[in-house]
């Protein structure tokens, strides 16, 4: 639909497509999603089978098209669309995204990605001297770098526990953090899904633990939103950061930062904000002119995601991984660095073969089988990371299985 938005400046009307692209028909029936139909929505490579979706999800073809159209429209009278029309459209996107995440729109700020969101939160806190930030050494390296920077700049201490991995024992995970809490602990930062092996952490229980001790909970949800049903008010966290360009499949540059409403005045923005915005989430978005078409296309990506449904997506990702895990776990030299119980595993599975370095195995799969994976060299999880997506077919998985079996056969005794 093409509507005419009337600008506040001189009543100029210019065409602007304000409605999101309709969700494709027949993607989901009463029998559940039609995965072949879902696959047809993606522009897939002919030469690579992409099993590295943890890095970044592709955006469906119709979302890329919508983004190009928005960009072209915005370019007709750029200052009008950038400063007047698109900000109004972003208000609606924020409302829809807040409802998806189970928070208020006044608690959700759009950021470029998880990294920027967590940096804003962590660097914006006024922590007392000798305060401690508790986290794990399985957290994302860039975020650990941010904490390191904070430690070097201010008189605070970062305490990194080593979480038991792989495990599905929530109590053991909680205990690792509990044992490291001291009277100086002010912040607990943890990943909802650990990036190196896809292990799901008990977010609500960890936030309850933080609350019990009067500690702020900050959750890195880069991989959780879109893969797991995430309801922020039920999780009860103080802050949450995510990247919609991962498992929601939005165009790159779409991240979200949640800060519980009453905490907003306690966190400084990275950029100057007008006086009077101390209590407003808006104070975190004064980063200058930045691309708004991607924010608007986020709504289309969310609609597409909701068209499949988070629960359906989660079941599919579990199923795709189960196919190959069941086949290769029988092989004596194959080991897993991810929990295999459904309650604790996600789309990211860390697997290895004794005798193969992660690097060599990943390269072999790519060169000989066109299977693209990533690697983890974390001391507790050395292996390749396999992360399929909703467009992955049974045939793609069969190729992965053949590749792993062949590698296993040629592994040294």
Ligand X SMILES: Cc1ncc(COP(=O)(O)O)c(C=O)c1O
- CB-wise, 241 or 320, nearer to ligand X? 241
Q: Minimum CB separation from ligand X for residue 138, in Å?
A: 9
Phi-psi region of 276 (alpha: psi -120 to 50; beta: other; left: phi over 0): left
CB of 26 to ligand X, least distance (A): 32
| 3 state DSSP class of 50 | strand
Nearer to ligand X, 114 or 310 (CB): 114
Smallest separation (angstroms) from ligand X to the CB of 197: 11
Q: Is the dihedral of CA 236, 144, 268, 88 positive or negative?
A: negative
Q: Are strands 255-259 and 108-111 parallel, antiparallel or unpaired?
A: antiparallel
CB of 140 to ligand X, least distance (A): 3
CB 103, min distance to ligand X, A: 19
Residue 224 Cβ vs ligand X, minimum distance, rounded to whole Å? 9
Give me the half-sphere count of Cα atoms (radius 13 Å) on the Cβ side of residue 157: 12
Q: Report the Cα 386 to chain-centroid distance in Å.
A: 16
The alpha-helical segments, DSSP class H, found in 19-109 are 35-39, 61-74, 78-80, 86-101
Taking the least distance from each CB to ligand X, the nearer of 73 and 243 is 243
Nearer residue to ligand X within complex by CB, 73 or 376: 376
Instruction: Confirm if 109 and 93 have CB atoms less than 8 A apart.
Output: no
Nearer to ligand X, 259 or 328 (CB): 259
- In 3D space, the residue among 246, 216, 225, 41 whose CA is nearest the CA of residue 135 turns out to be 216
Q: Which is nearer to ligand X, 58 or 403 (CB)?
A: 58
Cα separation of 410 and 413, whole Å?
A: 9
Quick one: 182 or 287, whose CB is closer to ligand X? Answer: 287
Which spans in 272-357 are helix H? 293-308, 310-328
Whichever of 222 and 325 has its CB closer to ligand X, that residue is: 222
Residue (27 or 257) nearer to ligand X, CB:
257
Nearer residue to ligand X within complex by CB, 28 or 112: 112
User: CB of residue 347 vs ligand X: minimum separation in angstroms?
Assistant: 12
Residue 413 Cβ vs ligand X, minimum distance, rounded to whole Å: 36
User: Can you state the angle between helices 203-212 and 170-178, rounded to 10 degrees?
Assistant: 30
- Which residues lie near ligand X (CB under 6 A)? 113-115, 140, 143, 191, 195, 220, 222-223, 243
State how far Cα 104 lies from the chain centre.
20
Return the exposure string of 372-389: e unless at least 16 CB atoms fall within 10 Å of the residue's CB, then b. Answer: bbbbbebebbbbbbbbbb
| Shortest distance in whole angstroms from residue 373 CB to ligand X | 14
Question: What gap in Å lies between CA 80 and CA 362, rounded to an integer?
Answer: 48
CA quadruple 297, 55, 227, 24: dihedral sign? positive
Distance, CA of 142 to CA of 32 (rounded, Å): 38
Q: Does residue 157 contact residue 147 with C-beta atoms inside 8 Å?
A: no
Cα distance between residue 255 and residue 234, in whole Å: 21
Shortest distance (Å) from residue 54 CB to ligand X: 6
CB of 68 within 8 A of CB of 75? Answer: no
Shortest distance, CB of residue 192 to ligand X, whole angstroms?
Answer: 8
Q: Is 80 helix (H, G, I), strand (E, B) or coil?
A: helix
- C-beta closer to ligand X: residue 115 or 310: 115
């Amino acid at each position: 639909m093409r509507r005419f938005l009337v600008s506040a400046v001189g009543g100029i009307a210019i065409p602007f497509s304000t409605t999101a692209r309709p969700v494709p028909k027949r993607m989901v029936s009463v029998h559940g999603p039609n995965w072949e139909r879902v696959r047809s929505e993606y522009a897939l490579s002919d030469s690579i089978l992409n099993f590295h979706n943890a890095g970044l999800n592709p955006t469906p073809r119709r979302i890329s098209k919508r983004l190009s159209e928005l960009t072209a429209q915005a370019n007709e009278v750029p200052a009008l669309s950038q400063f007047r029309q698109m900000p109004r459209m972003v208000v609606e996107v924020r409302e829809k995204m807040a409802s998806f995440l189970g928070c208020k729109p006044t608690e959700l700020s759009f950021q470029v990605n998880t990294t920027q969101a967590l940096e804003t939160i962590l660097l914006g806190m006024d922590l007392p001297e000798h305060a401690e930030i508790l986290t794990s050494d399985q957290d994302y390296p860039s975020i650990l770098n941010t904490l390191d920077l904070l430690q070097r700049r201010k008189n605070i201490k970062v305490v990194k526990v080593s979480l038991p991995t792989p495990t599905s024992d929530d109590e053991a995970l909680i205990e690792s953090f509990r044992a490291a809490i001291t009277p100086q602990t002010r912040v607990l930062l943890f990943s909802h899904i650990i990036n190196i092996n896809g292990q799901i952490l008990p977010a609500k229980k960890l936030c309850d633990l933080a609350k019990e001790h009067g500690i702020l909970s900050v959750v890195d949800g880069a991989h959780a939103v879109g893969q797991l049903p995430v309801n922020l008010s039920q999780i009860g966290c103080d802050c949450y950061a995510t990247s919609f360009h991962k498992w929601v499949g939005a165009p790159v540059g779409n991240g979200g930062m949640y800060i519980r409403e009453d905490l907003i005045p306690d966190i400084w923005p990275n950029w100057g904000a007008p006086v009077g915005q101390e209590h407003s989430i808006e104070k975190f978005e004064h980063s200058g002119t930045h691309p708004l078409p991607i924010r608007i296309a986020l709504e289309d990506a969310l609609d597409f995601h909701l068209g499949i449904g988070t629960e359906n997506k989660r079941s599919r990702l579990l199923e795709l991984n189960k196919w190959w895990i069941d086949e290769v776990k029988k092989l004596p030299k194959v080991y897993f660095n991810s929990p295999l119980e459904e309650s604790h595993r996600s789309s990211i599975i860390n697997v290895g073969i004794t005798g193969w370095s992660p690097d060599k195995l990943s390269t072999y799969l790519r060169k000989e089988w066109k299977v693209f994976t990533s690697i983890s060299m974390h001391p507790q999880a050395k292996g390749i990371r396999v992360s399929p997506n909703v467009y992955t077919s049974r045939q793609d998985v069969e190729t992965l299985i053949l590749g792993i079996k062949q590698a296993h056969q040629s592994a040294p005794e």
